Chain A
Amino acid sequence: MRNSKSERAGYWFIMPWLIGLLLFTIGPMLFSLLLAFSKWDIITGVQSIEWVGLDNFKTMFHDELFYQSLKVTFIFALVSVPLYQVASLLIALLLNMRNKGMKFFRLIYFMPSIIPAVAASMMWIMIFNPEYGILNRALALFGVQGPAWLQDPSYALGALIVMGLWGVGNTIIIYLSGLQGVPEELYEAANLDGAGPFQRFFNITLPMISPTVFFNVIMGIIGGFQYFTQAFVMTNGGPLNSTLFYNLYLYNKAFTDFEMGYASALSWVLFIIILAFTLLVIRSSSMWVYYQGDNEKD
């Protein structure tokens, strides 16, 4: 703004962040990059880090569990991101009606996202219990014999996806705030033109909230690829590695097997995957994200 004194003052105020950036982000990233090309079990001190070039990445090519964890994570992301977005948007549309009691419903739908992931996992372990879990008991009322959910390799991943649906409150609230930003006049004009609810949704609502969709899709992808706590607590990757999420495999490699070099290589592959997907969504966004006014300032 003004003089060099003000310049220095600015630096002083952001100093804690700057130091943190160097100490906890940039420094570790460089070290992690070095480790990705090294072999090192942490037990023998830092001096025994051994440069192995691309070996870790070559190992990945032959590592069945690496492929399995990629597969699990991709299936989860490809199913859950669209599923959660559609479900949250539908619920947000319902919650956006002008009606008494809406505030109450909003509270209820948001509640599960407040519950600690560990607590929710405990709850769902019991819900999914094949004999006395409430899910299979409810299915039995309709004469359906429910599966052994978390113990059955063909159902375990699906069970985790279903469970995630229960906790989409966060996404719902973001959609709701997006919906509330759509100008009422647009709907009034559309009504005069005799547009039905589906036309109103696809021609007005969806384009107007496309920035919100964009934000939620990106957050969904990032979250999906970093899925950890529920899988660790509920299945620990099993049965038969059917829920071995990428992040869980990475954790096992680093903190169970202490293969820090290989785990670092895995973390960079994860980073590149997330980056690629995020860039893909950002690049494609000019085709489907509509910014009202589009006169972004700073």
Chain B
Amino acid sequence: MMNQATTRKPVYSKLFSMLMLLAGAAIVLIPLLWTFATSLKTPAEVFKDDFFPAVWMWSNYKNAVLAIPFFTFLKNTLIILIPVLVGTVFSSALSAYGFARFNFRGKRTLFLVLLATMMLPSQVTMIPMFIMFKEIGWVDTFLPLIIPAFFGGGAFNIFLIRQFMRGIPRDLDESAFVDGANKMQIFTKIMLPLSMPPLIAVSIFTFMGVWNDFQGPLIYLNSSEKYTLALGLSMFKGLYNVEWNMLMAATMLIMLPPLVVFFVAQKYFIEGISISSAIKG
């Protein structure tokens, strides 16, 4: 029945689909809008039925930032983020270049190991890594959250960049080789500039990863003046003097940077994710 109706009257089926999409979009957006609205309410209004506040209290944002050590958390997040970005991009690109352009003994096996590590749950290495970092006195510093980024930069990132590099014509680097460029020069002068799309995707994913990371800072950072934004926000949830409206203002502030990055760089984002679906079993 419905088959017939939809093939005969594509207009109705299209209309129905559009309505479904609109309803879904409303479900996605209403919680966000409500959070935003709550962040602008007075404490009393939080408990009332009105969706929007009578007067938009922008001062909630100022007060939220002052109520929790927001800028300290932001600074800590950036202290971790910037070196992790540099380390991840550079070291994953290096390894990707190695896998994309050279033949060496055991390469296939090593590449399989690389893919396998993507499947390994981080919980297995979490405890020994903590013990290791504790033994060398790195617990409650940013180092355990930064240093590993310089050693490979993540299997998925290497895979992503390697796939792209394999698509770059070999003539380019071979002619540079003939012109006397060494391997490292070929890497920095030819491969890196040409691999901008996956490098940008990796940078965005890394930014998101650090910004969102919760379990890492939770394990390694003890003193509250070292908390990152994600950790700090959750720890201030239970604090008696933080009101819902202010907590929601802080919540809006922490979700804003990833959203801005997403809207600016959505092309790379979606391409990066789409590539991941090309992995076959």
A residues touching B (Cβ–Cβ < 8 Å)?
1-2, 6-14, 16-21, 23-25, 27-29, 31-32, 35, 42, 46, 91, 94-95, 97, 99, 105-112, 114-127, 131-132, 134, 137, 166, 170, 173-174, 177-178, 196-199, 211-212, 214-216, 218, 222, 225-226, 228-229, 232-233, 247, 250-251, 254-255, 260, 263-264, 267-268, 270-271, 274-275, 278, 282, 285, 289, 291, 296
Contact = CB atoms under 8 A, between A and B. Distances in A.
A32 B128 contact: yes
Given A10-B103, A116-B255, A16 B151 contact: yes
Interface residues of B, number: 99
Contact of A117 (B46, B122, B134, B212): B212
B121 A225 contact: yes
Of A116, A119, A126, A166, most B-chain CB atoms within 10 Å: A119
B29 interface: yes
A266 to B, nearest CB: 8
A17 B93 CA distance: 10
Nearest to B45: A132
B281 interface: yes
Given A91-B24, A116-B254, A196-B6, A7 B248 contact: no
Given A24-B148, A106-B270, A215-B276, 4 more contacts: A16-B150, A31-B132, A110-B266, A116-B212
B7 A197 contact: yes
B240 interface: no
24 contacts: A1-B103, A13-B98, A14-B98, A16-B91, A16-B94, A16-B151, A17-B151, A28-B132, A95-B21, A99-B18, A118-B254, A119-B233, A120-B255, A121-B234, A126-B248, A174-B273, A212-B277, A215-B277, A215-B281, A222-B119, A226-B121, A226-B123, A233-B214, A264-B127
B35 A1 contact: no
B20 A94 contact: yes
A119 B14 contact: no
A18 B97 CA distance: 14
Interface in B222-281: 230-231, 233-234, 237, 244, 247-248, 251, 254-255, 258-259, 261-263, 266, 270, 273-274, 276-277, 279-281
Given A42-B134, A196-B3, A247-B123, A6 B103 contact: yes
Contacts of B20: 94
Interface of B: 2-4, 6-7, 13-14, 17-18, 20-21, 24-25, 27-32, 34-35, 38, 46-49, 91-92, 94-95, 97-99, 101-105, 107, 110, 113-114, 117, 119-132, 134-135, 148, 150-153, 158, 183, 187, 208, 211-212, 214-215, 218-219, 230-231, 233-234, 237, 244, 247-248, 251, 254-255, 258-259, 261-263, 266, 270, 273-274, 276-277, 279-281
